Structure formats: C-alpha cells, structure tokens
Amino acid sequence: MIAPTHALRAALTAAIERALGEPEVDPLLVPSRQPGADLQANFAMKLAKQRGEAPRAVAERVATELGDADGLLAKTEVSGPGFLNLTFAPGALAEWATAALADERLGVAPAAMPQTVVVDYSAPNVAKEMHVGHLRSTVIGDALVRTLEFEGHTVVRANHLGDWGTQFGMLTQHMLDSGIEHLPDFAALGELYRAAKARFDADPAFTEAARSRVVALQAGDPGTLALWRDLVTVSLEHINAIYRRLDVTLTDEHVVGESFYNPLLAPTVDALLEAAVATESRGAVVVASTRFTNQDGTPAVLIIRKSDGGYGYGVTDLAAIDYRVRELDAHRMIYVTDARQAQHFAMVFDAAAKAGWTDGRQVEHVPFGAMLGDDGRPFKTRSGGTVALTDLLDSAIERAQVIVDEKNPDVPAGERAEIARAVGIGAVKYADLSTSRQRDLIFSFDRMLALDGNTAPYLLYAAVRAGSIATRAGETATTVSVVTEPVEQALLLKLAAFGDVLDEVAATLEPHRLCTYLYELAGQYTSFYEACPVLKADTPEQRRSRLAMCTLTAETLKTGLGLLGITVPARM
Ligand code: ARG
C-alpha cells in the first residue's frame, strides 16, 4: 500500500521529468504553510535557478503535467515565488485510510532495502547496580530496535555486558579467600564487592593475588571461571528483573558480553598491527588518532594492549565490529551510550574503517545527554548516592497509582494497579524518549505524570478514549467514506504520515520524532472530535466513517506507543 504522500512524491518526480526533462528530482514536499492546502512542493526555486528560468513558470509547467495525479489531488496552485500548493482529494485520503484500517501494518510500507542491523544497547556492568545511564540506553535502544524491526529490518540486539576485566580478579580472589562458592542474591554481591574493594585498596598482597587471578580467569582456569559465572548469573537476575519491569525486549539470548570477545582479542591486535592501523609504543599497542588530541596537543590514542599485556576497552569494541561484520554480516551497527563515550566510539570507528572492516557498512554512535534532577544538577539521591533503578520505578508506579485511583475509583483495585504500572513505567520511558536525546534529560515525576502536555498519561488517555468510542457505538466501522470537514481532512493527512515518521526515526535514530508525531496526532484528533459529532453524526454513513477514523487513530497511537515500548491499557 502506498501512502498518499509517497504516491504524490512519485507523481511529482515523474511530472518534473515530463515537463522539464530532468530525471529523479526530489520535489521537496513539505507541509503547507497555506491554510487551504495540505502540502507544498518547493522544487521550482532550485530548478529554476539551475536552468536560468522563472520559478513560477517552472512550477506552472510541472503543475500542468501533474494534473490531478490520477485522482490523488483536488487542487494545485502556484503561489509566492514558485511554491506549488497541493490539496489531496478527500476521496483519495479516505480510500487510503480504509485500506490502512484493514492492514495490520496500518498502511506503512516496509523498508525497500531491508538490512541486518546490530543495535548495541543497555550494556550494564556485572557486579554493579544499573544506573540511570543504563536506563537511558535501554529505553532509547529498545525503541530503536522495535522501530527498525517494524520497518522490516533484521535486528540483532547486542547487550554488550560489562562482564570482563580486572575487577573480576578482585572479586573471584575474594570469593576464594572467604570460601564463597555461590552467592544467594544480588545484595550479597554488593557486599562482596565492597569487601573485596576495601581489601584491594588496603592490602598489597591481595592486590597482587587479584592481578594473578585475572590472568587465571583470562586463561580459562575452570575454578575461577565457575566463580565468575556465578557473579554473572546473580547480576543477570537483577538486570533481567529490571528489564521485565521496564517491559524491554532484552533477554539472556541477547547477552554478548565483553567476555565473549576474549578469545578474539589477540587475533584482533595482530590484524590491527598487520594492517599498520595500530603501532607499538613503549611496550603497549595503540592506535593514534588523526582527529583527536589530548589537552597537551599530542594525538589521543586508543589503547589496544597495555604494556602489562592487559587489553583495553577499545580493542573489545574493535573485535566486536569485526565479528559483527564477518559473522553477522551487519550492514548497520548502532551504539547507544551516553555522549561522554563519543570520542571513544569515533576512534574505534576510525580504526575499523582504516583496517577496511567497515567498507560499505554504516557504524553510528547514538549519543544521549545526562539525566539531571529537578534542580538541574546530576541525578542523585538526597545523600548524594546513585539512584537505584528499582527505587525509581517503584516511585513512578506509586505516584501513578495516586492519579489512577483518583480518576478511576470504579475500576477494580487489581486492574487499577495494572493501569498504574502501565502509566508509571510508560511515563518514565516517554519522558526519556520525548526529549531530543542529545539534550540532558531533566527527570521530574510531576512533569512526566502530568495529564496534559506531551506526556505518557496524556497519550495513553487519548489512545484509550479514541478506542473506546467504537465500543460505545456498538459497531465496528471499517470504511472511511465521507470527508467534508477540514479537521477530518487534516486528521487523515496526519494519520497517513505515520510511515514517513517511522522512516525518519529509522534514519536519524531519534525516537523523539515519533513522540512529537503522536502528540500532534492526539491534538489533531481532539480538534476533530470537538468539531465533528461521531455518535450523533448526521447520517449512518457519516457516523461509520467517523468511527473508522477514531479506530484508525486509536490503532496508530497504540502502534506508535508500542514502538516506543509503551503499552496502552484496555481502559483508563
Ligand atoms: N558497559 C559500558 C558502560 O557501562 C557500556 C558499553 C557500551 N557498548 C560498547 N560496545 N562499548 O559504560
């Protein structure tokens, strides 16, 4: 099914070629600023300049060739310096909406060129609490994964778990010394960590033993590995519990931690040396950047192998790129981490490109800003500690419960708790996703739980309301057939833009664009609903047509929120 805007774009490109002999011109179609028109095409100004002709004349010639674009358009008009204003025929929009309603993809065409996309996200660290940075990565990454999958791409979720490195020597050595073979839960792991760290900092003999223990671990000593596995298992229980509460799609099968790449590190170093991408410097192996410098002006380096033989964080990422290209045949690799890792990834990507590993592939860092408290300062507990994610989610649900209880006193308590969970978790996720990700996120429960404005509660209510009208009407409407009011035309136009927005999110990896769209759609729906009686429409046909628009709106909101990882409850 082709969305009206796509059909129009193709018709315009064809008309430009027929009128001017110029092939494959982008008609530069944007929403119209003229109240009477739906869209405006801005190609004429640019083309006229290239051809040394008058823009209005160029636009006129194309308009003549375009005609009504096979019944798609009701009106075309050249205005201003050479804009071509375009208004869809109501029948064309109605026909598309009817088809979209019958389509489980809501009329969204799948990607023309499906790719294999690796999305590296969440990536918490074993033996530590997940923090707010991991929350952002998890929420943003999961929305991107869902959107890319909906677009028809093959998505490989990669949870690059921090499960390797010197701290595991310290932890397993302490387990050995204290005769601990198995940890009962994550809290016990926290205690173990504190005790081991205290010894590591105070006792040089322990520090030495811990260092040898890392070597044993890296060499695959079975006893050490068994202890390490226990640490990973207990941590994953904690991490998975948060994933389930957050309703993200990550499970154990997506864990490909740093440890996975351990056997690939030595060959990666050799390959980098061989390709002359890395060089040896005072016993270490490094890649010097041609783009980044240290504060003293010397080139920044990516440490590949330290002089003591230990490996840097960067080489694991290089081994991962090599693996993702060779084993997974990834066309596109996406890394969702906070902006402070931007230079790290830029240097990793540069090195991989120099080694020729990423030729013809896309590698992209998707950075996001810090999470700040209401006061604009780094998000911390009152005593200055890091906020545990479980506590944060508890608070969100508790606060949502108050709102839900007040709004729905008649709903049974069990269902109210279910709704509060959806609203609380949805609010946390939506607040994160609706902020342009490069910006810092100000975390405010009051703001994210507000019933008005660009928030999850507002959109969830809108989706539930739009869906419940059909239930109240007692009939399932499947056909949009009467479009007379400008607000109806505007609503249909907005609904038809859903696919364009998803394409944009897939291209820019910016989920806030989908949030803005859904918010605008809800607003457009409100204007329609206020101006156009649905249940009391003039004729049965008009009533059915408007009901169908309500249903398509509800489905689009629900699908869009679903792509953000937010579930719409049955009622609110
Ligand atoms: N574990 C790291 C951290 O907590 C994030 C890893 C991101 N992914 C990667 N491939 N380096 O900061």
pLDDT value of position 398: 97
Closest C-alpha to ligand 1, atom 7: 123
Residues 189 and 327 in one domain: no
Residues 349 and 460 in one domain: no
Over residues 562-566, the mean pLDDT reads: 98
Residues 263 and 223 in one domain: no
Task: Name the pLDDT band for 286 (thresholds 50, 70, 90).
Answer: very high
The candidate with the shortest Cα–Cα distance to 519, out of 440, 460, 465, is 460
- Judge whether 214 lies within some domain: yes
Question: Domain boundary residue among 197, 221, 251?
Answer: 251
Exposed (0-12), middle (13-18) or buried (19+): which is 322, by Cβ within 10 Å? buried
Residues 547 and 424 in one domain: yes
- Judge whether 57 lies within some domain: yes
The whole-angstrom separation of Cα 47 and Cα 84 is 13
The whole-angstrom separation of Cα 491 and Cα 524 is 6
Residues 220 and 313 in one domain: no
Read off the pLDDT of residues 436-474 as tens digits, 9 standing for 90 and up.
999 999 999 999 999 999 999 999 999 999 999 988 999
Q: Per-residue pLDDT for 193 more than 90?
A: yes
Pocket test for ligand 1, best of 131, 265, 341, 348 (most atoms within 8 A of CB): 341
Over residues 156-172, the mean pLDDT reads: 96
Closest C-alpha to ligand 1, atom 6: 123
Contact between residue 373 and residue 445 where contact means Cβ atoms under 8 Å apart:
no
CATH number at residue 458: 1.10.730.10
Question: Domain boundary residue among 251, 286, 320?
Answer: 251
Q: Per-residue pLDDT for 194 more than 90?
A: yes
Residues 400 and 352 in one domain: no
Residues 225 and 147 in one domain: no
- Judge whether 381 lies within some domain: no
Read off the pLDDT of residues 350-406 as tens digits, 9 standing for 90 and up.
999 999 999 999 999 999 999 998 888 888 887 878 888 889 999 999 999 999 999
Q: Where are the beta strands (DSSP E) in 29-180?
A: 29-31, 39-41, 73-79, 83-88, 116-120, 154-158
CATH number at residue 46: 3.30.1360.70
Closest C-alpha to ligand 1, atom 4: 124
- Index of the ligand 1 atom closest to the CA of residue 313: 11
Q: What is the ipTM of this complex?
A: 0.98
Which region, left, alpha or beta, applies to residue 175 given φ > 0 means left and ψ of -120 to 50 means alpha? alpha
- Residues in Cβ contact with 394 at an 8 Å cutoff, skipping those fewer than 6 apart: none
pLDDT value of position 375: 86
Per the structure, the complete domain to which residue 17 belongs is given by 4-88
- Judge whether 416 lies within some domain: yes
- Index of the ligand 1 atom closest to the CA of residue 320: 10
- Judge whether 34 lies within some domain: yes
Strand partners, 84: 41, 78
Q: Which DSSP state fits 163?
A: -
Higher-pLDDT residue of 508, 312: 508
Give the highest mean pLDDT range of 28-32, 215-219, 294-298, 420-424: 420-424
Read off the pLDDT of residues 490-523 as tens digits, 9 standing for 90 and up.
999 999 999 999 999 999 999 999 999 999 999 9
pLDDT value of position 388: 84
Residues 428 and 519 in one domain: yes
Residues 405 and 474 in one domain: yes
Read off the pLDDT of residues 45-76 as tens digits, 9 standing for 90 and up.
999 999 999 999 999 999 999 999 999 999 99
Mean model confidence pLDDT for the chain: 95
Pocket test for ligand 1, best of 125, 160, 311 (most atoms within 8 A of CB): 160
Give residues (CB < 6 A) around ligand 1. Answer: 120, 123, 125, 160, 162, 317, 335, 337
Ligand 1 centroid to 73 CA: how many Å? 51
Contact between residue 5 and residue 67 where contact means Cβ atoms under 8 Å apart:
no
pLDDT value of position 380: 83
pLDDT value of position 108: 95
Task: Name the pLDDT band for 416 (thresholds 50, 70, 90).
Answer: very high
pLDDT value of position 310: 85
Residues 556 and 486 in one domain: yes
- Judge whether 32 lies within some domain: yes
- Judge whether 102 lies within some domain: no
Pocket test for ligand 1, best of 167, 337, 344, 347 (most atoms within 8 A of CB): 337
pLDDT value of position 35: 83
Q: Per-residue pLDDT for 308 more than 90?
A: no
Task: Name the pLDDT band for 80 (thresholds 50, 70, 90).
Answer: very high
Ligand 1 centroid to 286 CA: how many Å? 20
pTM of the model: 0.95
The whole-angstrom separation of Cα 197 and Cα 139 is 31
Ligand 1 centroid to 162 CA: how many Å? 7
pLDDT value of position 323: 98
Closest C-alpha to ligand 1, atom 5: 123
- Judge whether 113 lies within some domain: no
Helix (H, G, I), strand (E, B) or coil at 75: strand
Name the percent of the chain lying above pLDDT 70: 100
The whole-angstrom separation of Cα 39 and Cα 494 is 12
The whole-angstrom separation of Cα 525 and Cα 491 is 6
CATH number at residue 363: 3.40.50.620
pLDDT value of position 382: 78
Residues 420 and 537 in one domain: yes
Ligand 1 centroid to 129 CA: how many Å? 14
The whole-angstrom separation of Cα 341 and Cα 266 is 24
Determine the length of the chain: 572
Question: Domain boundary residue among 190, 224, 251?
Answer: 251
Ligand 1 centroid to 330 CA: how many Å? 19
The whole-angstrom separation of Cα 146 and Cα 95 is 28
Over residues 236-264, the mean pLDDT reads: 97
Q: Which DSSP state fits 162?
A: B
Distances (CA, A) of 565 to 392, 430, 559: 18, 9, 10
pLDDT value of position 470: 86
Contact between residue 246 and residue 393 where contact means Cβ atoms under 8 Å apart:
yes
Residues 437 and 546 in one domain: yes
The number of domains in the chain is 4
